Chain A
Amino acid sequence: MEKLLLLGAEAIAQGAIDGGMSGVYAYPGTPSTEITEYVQHNKTATERKLHSQWSANEKTAMEAGLGMSYAGKRTMVCMKHVGLNVAADAFINSAITGVNGGLIVAVADDPSMHSSQNEQDSRFFGKFAMIPIFEPASQQEAYDMAYEGFELSEKLKIPIMMRITTRLAHSRAGIETRPLKQEKKLSYPEDPIQFVLLPSNARKRYKGLLGLQSLMEQEAERSAFNTYYPARNKSIGIIACGIAFNYLMENYPDRKFPHPVLQLGQYPLPFVKVEKLVNECEQVLVLEDGYPLVEEMLKGYLDKNSKIKGRLDGTIPRDGELNPDIVARSLGLEVKIGKPVPSIVANRPPELCAGCSHRDIYNALNETMKEFGKQKVFSDIGCYTLGALPPWNSINSCVDMGASITMAKGAADAGVHPAIAVIGDSTFTHSGMTALLDCVYENTPVTVIISDNGTTGMTGGQASHATGRLEEICIGLGVKPEHVRTLTPLPKYHDEMVSVLREEMLYEGVSVVIPRRECIQTLSRSKKEVKVKMEEAVK
């Protein structure tokens, strides 16, 4: 069979499609975006008309996924780690309701924060929800876990978490695919109140979930993704979770491990295998990308001088992603030291593209703020967060999706004036609308700049739910129409932008300023596509 060359993220998508998935729900977020994009462009998915449109945010995605599962179909919900915070209410409760059709929640973590505001470890959320977690080591395992995950989910009648990290999500390798499965037919849950989490029913459901724990453990015990490699030298044993196993293998080619190794790819922890390793080895090294979850569990709270080694005792750095060299050092193996980076090499941080509309709005904002003073601009998650860097230094916050507006509100309540929020169009419809409603409810004096480039830019230009309806949304939420101002962010309109911003900042109520110009990246891409199409037409 011909191999497909896929990113880890894409391998999950292909595995889910081949596993009989009927739909994927997601909001874009690095490094998870490519899962859904792959489904959007896949031939089988298109022929089968699998759902793959973007959701407004991760919570709506999670709930829609649960709805499709309710109707008996196999569904996947995808997000980045911080997206799971947004979806957490629905996610945790989905373990209590259980599922009908198989449900996989694929979450991509970003240790080392390549493109994120923290490096939280989603396995804690999986454990919190008390559901099984898959953690693939390779692209092939990512495929296989997605392919098999629906069946485990249906067998246990609860959702399954699939946890990957940036390195696997964005690394390509050859994948062998398996036969395409049929989609499930529409069916209702056997119990009509399965999904009704009234306390009386929720208590029963929760006991059911608790009762399932031993079954999940048995599944993990016999899982092909949890492999025990015996070896003679028991001075140390190694538990390698997910992608950490690759870094271990890099140091011991062809899996010739001198020490016993437990490769861990399915949680909850397989008790028998873990106990065997801990009992037969003098010390145990835990290799896991992200937080020390397994290490903490093995170490416990009181056992300060335990034989468990890892991030907590300093054998491995406490933060940041793993790599083959960190693993080698933790085992006392020799590593090569390459040449140092010459001092002549300067930093090259990311920046707003030449011609980007955010540049023009920051230029106008900076000029306006000369009159009003510093440190009054709250911002959000997106390309425009780069406005925090020189030469602009325009913004003073970036916390979570939508926080710009609500933080501006809180600051305004505290007496900051003018209190300004800068948010993107897609981030606004993700989590800014309810924040704006809070401002409208109290007529809080805030100036909200929704920098509308018609796309979800930072993640590569996905459709934005806000496109074509921003003014209506704001007016619908109760912002006075005369204080919803639209601008064209171009250098030639600089003076006009400054004067509108000034007017609205002086206004003692809620105002929304919408500078609108298409993202320079999506614009040049659509121009190229038109050119190719025209050339094809000429042929």
Chain B
Amino acid sequence: MKSDIILSGVGGQGILSIAAVVGMAALENHLYLKQAEVHGMSQRGGAVQSHLRISEREIASDLIPEGRADIIISVEPMESLRYLPWLSENGWLVTNTTPFVNITDYPDMNELIAEIEKLPHNITINADEIARQVKSPRSSNMVVLGAASPFIDIPYQSLENGIKKIFERKGEKIVQLNIDALKAGREFSEEKKTLTTKGSK
């Protein structure tokens, strides 16, 4: 078993929390893990990414080679495409559709979504909207992780346990809000997956 994951977004959007939760879940399953992240200058509102690798076997490189990532998980739609060279032919792209517009030349949303939907395996989810619906507006990152969870080779329960460990310090309420967000994202993907499978038959 192995999952090579690219996480992407804009500095401050919470991709490191996603990485931390998946990391905890990997440890619980006694898997090897390497996770390269970005600190420093790029964190200031710039594009950020993290390479997250999970495997039963020892992991060599901290970086994923091009064309080998099993999944891109993005908390921002334009950022989901920036790392496309890393995605493998059969890889999944799971992205939030709520744009983070802090530049003047941000592309047209319809064109952006059309570009994402060209990919054979993609999930687009309005994570900000779903996070609001489950009354956890600040947990859109966990909604995206939930939506990506069916494609990560880790038991779903372990991700919930990961949230418990990572957010423990912030209190039970925060833990529950994040779990609710994760669950909502998961349900969205399960439903969409079923529809897609039916459609292709």
CB distance from B117 to the nearest CB of A (A): 12
Alpha-carbon distance A135/B10, docked complex (angstroms): 32
Selected contact of B170 from candidates A325, A338, A532, CB within 8 Å:
A532
Contacts of B155 in A (CB 8 A): none
Are B44's CB and A346's CB within 8 A? Answer: no
With A350-B11, A532-B171 in contact, is A114–B41 under 8 Å at CB? yes
CB distance from B46 to the nearest CB of A (A): 4
With A170-B38, A336-B68 in contact, is A342–B62 under 8 Å at CB? no
With A246-B62, A325-B65 in contact, is A115–B42 under 8 Å at CB? yes
Q: Give residues 381-402 of A contacting B (CB, 8 Å).
A: 383, 386
- Asked if B193 CB lies within 8 Å of chain A CBs, one says no
Alpha-carbon distance A306/B171, docked complex (angstroms): 63
Are A458's CB and B35's CB within 8 A? Answer: no
Are A114's CB and B86's CB within 8 A? Answer: no
CB distance from A526 to the nearest CB of B (A): 15
Give me 24 A-to-B residue pairs in the complex whose CB atoms sit less than 8 angstroms apart, sorted by A's number. A5-B33, A30-B41, A34-B39, A114-B38, A115-B41, A167-B62, A171-B51, A172-B33, A172-B34, A172-B35, A172-B37, A250-B61, A325-B66, A328-B65, A336-B67, A337-B66, A338-B84, A342-B115, A344-B78, A344-B107, A345-B107, A346-B78, A347-B103, A532-B171
Are A348's CB and B10's CB within 8 A? Answer: yes
Are B39's CB and A170's CB within 8 A? Answer: yes
**Chain A residue at minimal CB-CB distance from B171:** A535
Contacts of B19 in A (CB 8 A): 172
- Asked if B36 CB lies within 8 Å of chain A CBs, one says yes
- Asked if B43 CB lies within 8 Å of chain A CBs, one says yes
- Asked if A475 CB lies within 8 Å of chain B CBs, one says no
CB distance from A457 to the nearest CB of B (A): 9
Contacts of B154 in A (CB 8 A): none
- Asked if B40 CB lies within 8 Å of chain A CBs, one says yes
- Asked if A323 CB lies within 8 Å of chain B CBs, one says yes
Are A115's CB and B46's CB within 8 A? Answer: no
Are B27's CB and A350's CB within 8 A? Answer: no
- Asked if B151 CB lies within 8 Å of chain A CBs, one says no
Contacts of A254 in B (CB 8 A): 57
Are B38's CB and A174's CB within 8 A? Answer: no
CB distance from A229 to the nearest CB of B (A): 14
Alpha-carbon distance A350/B48, docked complex (angstroms): 10
**Chain A residue at minimal CB-CB distance from B52:** A172
Interface string of B54-71 (1 = CB under 8 A from A): 000101111111111000
Binding site for A on B (CB under 8 A): 10-11, 19, 23-24, 27, 32-47, 51, 57, 59-68, 78-79, 81-88, 102-103, 105-107, 111-112, 115, 169-171
Are A246's CB and B60's CB within 8 A? Answer: yes
CB distance from A143 to the nearest CB of B (A): 15
Q: Give residues 326-364 of A contacting B (CB, 8 Å).
A: 328, 335-342, 344-353
CB distance from B34 to the nearest CB of A (A): 5
With A34-B39, A170-B36, A344-B112 in contact, is A351–B65 under 8 Å at CB? no
With A341-B85, A347-B103 in contact, is A174–B27 under 8 Å at CB? yes
With A31-B40, A336-B65, A350-B11 in contact, is A342–B84 under 8 Å at CB? yes
Contacts of B10 in A (CB 8 A): 348
Contacts of B112 in A (CB 8 A): 344
Given pairs A170-B37, A171-B37, A253-B57, 20 additional interface contacts (CB within 8 A):
A30-B41, A168-B62, A170-B39, A171-B36, A173-B34, A243-B62, A324-B60, A324-B61, A324-B63, A335-B65, A337-B66, A338-B84, A338-B87, A338-B88, A340-B84, A344-B78, A344-B81, A344-B112, A349-B46, A350-B42
Alpha-carbon distance A383/B82, docked complex (angstroms): 25
Q: Give residues 233-266 of A contacting B (CB, 8 Å).
A: 243, 246-250, 253-254
- Asked if A469 CB lies within 8 Å of chain B CBs, one says no
Alpha-carbon distance A174/B32, docked complex (angstroms): 7
Contacts of A350 in B (CB 8 A): 11, 41-46
Alpha-carbon distance A350/B42, docked complex (angstroms): 5
- Asked if A459 CB lies within 8 Å of chain B CBs, one says yes
Alpha-carbon distance A335/B51, docked complex (angstroms): 18
**What 9 pairs across the A-B complex have the smallest Cβ distances?**
A336-B67, A115-B40, A30-B40, A350-B46, A249-B60, A338-B85, A250-B61, A338-B67, A171-B62
Are A342's CB and B171's CB within 8 A? Answer: no
CB distance from B67 to the nearest CB of A (A): 3
- Asked if A460 CB lies within 8 Å of chain B CBs, one says yes
Are B61's CB and A459's CB within 8 A? Answer: no
With A115-B42, A344-B81, A532-B171 in contact, is A250–B60 under 8 Å at CB? yes
Alpha-carbon distance A395/B23, docked complex (angstroms): 41
Alpha-carbon distance A349/B44, docked complex (angstroms): 9
Are A458's CB and B41's CB within 8 A? Answer: yes
**Chain B residue at minimal CB-CB distance from A337:** B67
Alpha-carbon distance A341/B79, docked complex (angstroms): 10
Are B84's CB and A351's CB within 8 A? Answer: no
Alpha-carbon distance A102/B33, docked complex (angstroms): 32
Selected contact of B27 from candidates A3, A170, A325, A459, CB within 8 Å:
A3
**Chain B residue at minimal CB-CB distance from A249:** B60
Alpha-carbon distance A31/B39, docked complex (angstroms): 7
Alpha-carbon distance A30/B105, docked complex (angstroms): 30
Are B42's CB and A114's CB within 8 A? Answer: yes
**Chain B residue at minimal CB-CB distance from A528:** B170
Alpha-carbon distance A33/B36, docked complex (angstroms): 16
Alpha-carbon distance A314/B104, docked complex (angstroms): 39
Are B44's CB and A386's CB within 8 A? Answer: yes
- Asked if A275 CB lies within 8 Å of chain B CBs, one says no
Contacts of A190 in B (CB 8 A): none
Selected contact of B65 from candidates A3, A323, A339, A386, CB within 8 Å:
A323
Selected contact of B23 from candidates A5, A324, A328, CB within 8 Å:
A5
Most buried by A among B39, B59, B169: B39
Alpha-carbon distance A168/B38, docked complex (angstroms): 11
- Asked if A371 CB lies within 8 Å of chain B CBs, one says no
Most buried by A among B57, B66, B81: B66
Contacts of A535 in B (CB 8 A): 171
**Chain A residue at minimal CB-CB distance from B23:** A5
**Chain B residue at minimal CB-CB distance from A352:** B44
- Asked if A482 CB lies within 8 Å of chain B CBs, one says no
Alpha-carbon distance A168/B43, docked complex (angstroms): 18
Alpha-carbon distance A142/B28, docked complex (angstroms): 24
